[in-house]
Structure 1
């Protein structure tokens, strides 16, 4: 996704929330509606989401098993 952001001044950002909600933000970044953000991970409250990739952004889990 870094090549799609297209700005060297994009701030590395950790997206916090459910993966479905994070995907909405990622779509906005890809479309150009959201600028200057480079998501390097999604922090999900659900353990089951851990290890997934949403639009090439890894999903981490805030909880351990």
Structure 2
């Protein structure tokens, strides 16, 4: 997976932002939203919903921090 997945978070050590900035940009759900094409979206989560359902309304709030894959 790592060979097919670009670096999408501009957080330290490869970027200028930290984890607090990542949280403001949408956190891990925003990262998962970017990785959506690579994920099994049918799996159930602890919420009882599928990954797809959980990601449906997730928004990336800062595209400089959580970048789109290229």
Q: Same fold (TM over 0.5)?
A: no
Q: TM-score, normalised by structure 2?
A: 0.24
Structure that is richer in strand per residue:
1
Larger radius of gyration: 2
TM-score by length of 1: 0.25
